[in-house]
Structure 1
Amino acid sequence: MTGRVTADDVAHAVRLAVEALRAVPEPDWAAPAGSLEWDCWETAEHLADDLFSYALQLGPARPPQDTHVPVAWRRERPGGPASVVFVDREAGTDGLLQVIEACGALLTGVVATVPSLVRAHHVWGASDPEGFAAMGVTETLVHAHDITQGLGGGWSPDPSLCAKVLGRLFPDVPLGAEPWPTLLWATGRGDLPGRERRTRWRWYGAP
């Protein structure tokens, strides 16, 4: 048993990711983010947007069951991520990381206060607060990996966070290997001995 994913896990994941990104000297935010088609700045904005959007889904008194909360998403360029959250580029690295922290705090607070019986829409199936917490942790871990790859830094998160989200969101993934390489494999970002590399993947957020 790996334990439930909690609001504290969201806060912990965001804190570790921000620390890792802040430690990269003179980051080139225009560099490609790992294997993604986005640059590192866009991927960091996308991460902030994920955290914000998950909080948004859970926030209403009657969360939507078949669609998203109707905010207006847009792309800043063709092929870029569709987002609500964009960061003032003049704010630089400190501003970008502050926005990630703020959006992480929003999800942390919502997960901590919304009753566990609440369900809200996600494109891969309605989920509960723990599920959205696990999604937020997963997004934080794997996108921090994408960004640090692009910036030339290293990133190896807390294995207990990886084990928790694998147990909560990826029932189709074999356990037993190291949690972090397994999570990278589960999300199409790495290899796992004895398994073909994933070119398509998803998680399962149902309670």
Structure 2
Amino acid sequence: MTAMTTTSGLTAPGITADDLQHAVRLSLTTLRGAAATTTAADWRRPAATLTWSCWETVEHLADDLFAYAAQLGLDAPALGTEVPFLVERRREGGPANVTYADPGSGTTGLLQVLESCGAMLAAVVRTVPADRRAYHCFGLSDAEGFAAMGMVETLVHTHDVAAGLGVPFHPPAGLCGQVLARLFPDAPTDTDRWPTLLWATGRGELPGHERRTAWRWFAAPREPGAAHDTTV
């Protein structure tokens, strides 16, 4: 990945596959710890304020990571549409996924699916050329952008599941700051990074700022020489 220029004029590395893997490993550590102290019934609880269960939310997260890898991995990605996998819902109101975990595998299998899909995206991010562009509903993006999107999905959905299961999850400010700088240029830069990421994705309050009822990220590739704040 290329370096980015901060508002102070210093250079800092962009988001890499290693950063994505760090986020996925933090998620797996938290969720495996929760699995050791919960029952199958607990994973059928709603994930925080979502209408999906904790199990469904992990499936959705894994599916996001898989889909990003699939989209970015084509030699000549379609720039106006997604790869045409068959997408299905297992129940009305549930997530629309390509991939699902075998319910008979329990939470061990569910988290293996998450780990595997995260590894797929990290591998694709590492290997595609820097000029690769692929479609996302929020606009074309590059490998760094897809890594950042995977990190946001991982961090906020792990938050959702952890809240639903009653376990703590507090990712490091550095990771949160990276994705805020890359995907949320309109987010405040003088606030704690994890609460700010939750606020930016409609999941929390932030003093001095109205709660978001609608949100999006901006994953367009960085323009060479453009300034990007990396406050963490």
Scaled by the length of structure 2, the TM-score of the pair is 0.88
Q: Size of the alignment, in residue pairs?
A: 207
Answer yes or no: is 1:125 the counterpart of 2:139: yes
2:176 aligns with one of 162, 186, 191: 162
Following TM superposition, where does structure 1 have runs of at least 4 consecutive aligned residues deviating by more than 6 angstroms? Answer: none
Correspondence 1:53-68 to 2 at 5 A: 53-68=67-82
What is the aligned counterpart of 2:186 among 156, 172, 183?
172
**Partner of residue 14, structure 1:** 24
Question: Is 1:47 aligned to 2:57, yes or no?
Answer: no
Deviations 1:133-186 (A, max 9, x none): 000000000000000000111100121110000000001111111110000000
Match of 1:89 among 98, 103, 119: 103
2:50 counterpart of 1:36: yes
Shift of 1:81: 0.6
Distance 1:190 1:3, change over 3 A: farther
Q: Deviations over 1:40-70 (max 9, x none)?
A: 0000000000000000001111011000001
Q: Distance in 1 between matches of 2:17 and 2:129?
A: 12
For 2:126 and 2:94, locate their aligned partners in 1 and report how far apart those are by CA, in whole Å. 32
Identity among equivalent pairs (%): 58
For the pair shown, the structure with the greater C-alpha radius of gyration is 2
* 5+ long unaligned stretches in structure 1: none
Q: Which ranges of structure 2 fall in alignment gaps of 5 or more residues?
A: 1-5, 7-11, 222-232
Give me the whole-angstrom Cα distance separating, in 2, the residues matched to 1:157 and 1:166: 13
| Alignment check: 8 A CA contact 1:3 1:164 kept | no
Given candidates 65, 73, 89, the residue that maps to 2:87 is 73
Q: Distance in 2 between matches of 1:185 and 1:100?
A: 25
Instruction: For 1:98, give the aligned amino acid.
Output: Q
> Which secondary structure state, in structure 1, belongs to the residue aligned with residue 113 of structure 2?
helix
Aligned-pair distance for 1:196?
A: 0.6
Query: Structure 1 length normalisation: TM-score?
Result: 0.98
Q: Which has the higher strand share?
A: 2
Q: Distance in 2 between matches of 1:155 and 1:106?
A: 24
1:97-112 map, 5 Å: 97-112=111-126
* CA deviation after TM superposition for structure 1 residue 3, in Å: 3.8
Task: Describe the superposition over 1:86-133 as per-residue Cα deviations: whole angstroms up to 9, x where unpaired.
Answer: 000110111011000000000000000001111000000000000000
Question: Structure 1 stretch 115-124 or stretch 21-30: which is displaced more?
Answer: 21-30
| 1:23 paired residue number | 33
> What amino acid is the match of 1:39?
S
